[in-house]
Structure 1
């Protein structure tokens, strides 16, 4: 039996996240619930391609006292209407892509209802993306934080401030490619909206 792949739960995860999933033979994805929340990571940040280049979509969180908080306890902040802005940005960026309308209703739900906790929000998107990308995977969760819970531990490996986790990513058509060239390792929705059912072939 293959050891599960240990991953953090990201907001609309980047393409490299799903490349790692495709490369790992395990049927189980082990998501980390007990790590301390990490600032400026893909846990609250997704990158999309717009007419003006790469845009970061950032989910605001409720900042409490200064002690470190487990990611499972991080709450989403709804004081400002970020959901409307994120959905408008996605529509503006991908309305002219080949498959946006095909997936539009599936993704709109994340911007029409409120999830109290960041982890629940991210896991719900991951479940949808796994389905859209045709991965038959089971999601489980850590029961405590441990230094090494799996043979393949990617909790810190995929990060916007580090180098590209998958430098050999193949190019695919992007809406604004003529303006900016190919932009690698954006959110997997960029791949999905541009390539649709063929997306898994690029992973």
Structure 2
């Protein structure tokens, strides 16, 4: 992977597979010039709640045109989604081993208001990388990158919450670990990085490394 770069979409509390790419590649490109795609990890994440997988979505303002660039997508605050997300995270992870250790570092994302989704996601990613001690070499794209670009592996739409769109990744294998509601619903793979953070804490980076394969 020394000369190969990964191309990712922006993501809200991205899934474990996404963070594996951040440690797998020496350089990761975050696409900002694409046409924004709805119902993706760009504005949503999956956490583990008492009733199973719980999706959390950041509402965005409706575009005046059919297509809008990801970098121009604005967050909507017509509803108090921040309070709902924080309550969902608290309900899901308050009894996890590292919830109290990390929640103070993340609470600002549910109290402060950011205008653009991309800026919001990047700030979250920076904080998560800091907490897990991930050396993340990410840069925003200068222009739209074609899918077949040389030395670039495109993950923009292959890491997706919909099973029908989530393509097989031979370089990633979700290894089981202890989850709060695992005894009730079983192991849930590739949830938001929050699941790793609160359940594994400082061992989170080692877990991510264990999910990488040599394929």
Q: What TM-score does the superposition give when structure 1 sets the normalisation length?
A: 0.93
Counterpart residue number, 2:14? 13
In structure 2, the gaps of 5 or more residues are 209-215
Task: Point out the more displaced range, 131-140 or 58-67.
Answer: 131-140
The residue matched to 1:89 in structure 2 has which SS?
helix
Rounded to whole Å, the distance in 1 between the matches of 2:167 and 2:150 is 24
How big is the alpha-carbon RMSD for the aligned residues of Structure 1 and Structure 2? 1.6
SS of the residue aligned with 1:169? coil
Deviation at 1:159, TM superposition (A): 0.5
Partner-residue secondary structure (3-state), 2:13: coil
Gaps of 5+ in 1: none
Comparing 131-140 and 100-109, the one that deviates more: 131-140
Distance 1:112 1:181 in 2: 32
Kept in 2: contact 1:10–1:44 (CA 8 A):
yes
TM-score normalized by structure 2?
0.88
Q: What secondary structure does 1:79 align onto?
A: coil
How far the C-alpha of 1:202 sits from its partner, in A, is: 1.5
- Describe the superposition over 1:127-173 as per-residue Cα deviations: whole angstroms up to 9, x where unpaired: 11111222112331111112037522211210111346556210010
C-alpha separation in 2, matches of 1:64 and 1:150: 33
Q: Name the residue aligned to 1:60.
A: 59
1:39 shift after superposition? 0.7
Q: Does 1:182 align with 2:181?
A: no
CA deviations over 1:83-118 (Å, ceiling 9, x no partner): 000011111110000001111111101001000000
SS in 2 for 1:57: strand
For residue 170 of structure 1, what is the aligned residue in structure 2?
175
Question: What is the DSSP-based 3-state SS (H/G/I as helix, E as strand, rest coil) of the residue aligned with 1:197?
Answer: helix
Which residue number in structure 2 is paired with residue 114 of structure 1?
113
User: How far is 1:20 from its partner?
Assistant: 2.1
Q: Tell me, in whole angstroms, the C-alpha distance in 1 between the residues paired with 2:67 and 2:95.
A: 42
Find the residue that maps to 1:191 and give its secondary structure: helix
CA contact (8 A) 1:98 1:194 kept: yes
In 2, Cα distance between equivalents of 1:139 and 1:18: 11
Alignment of 1:1-40 (within 5 A): 2-24=3-25, 26=26, 28-40=27-39
Number of residue pairs matched by the alignment: 201
Runs of 4+ off more than 3 Å: 163-167
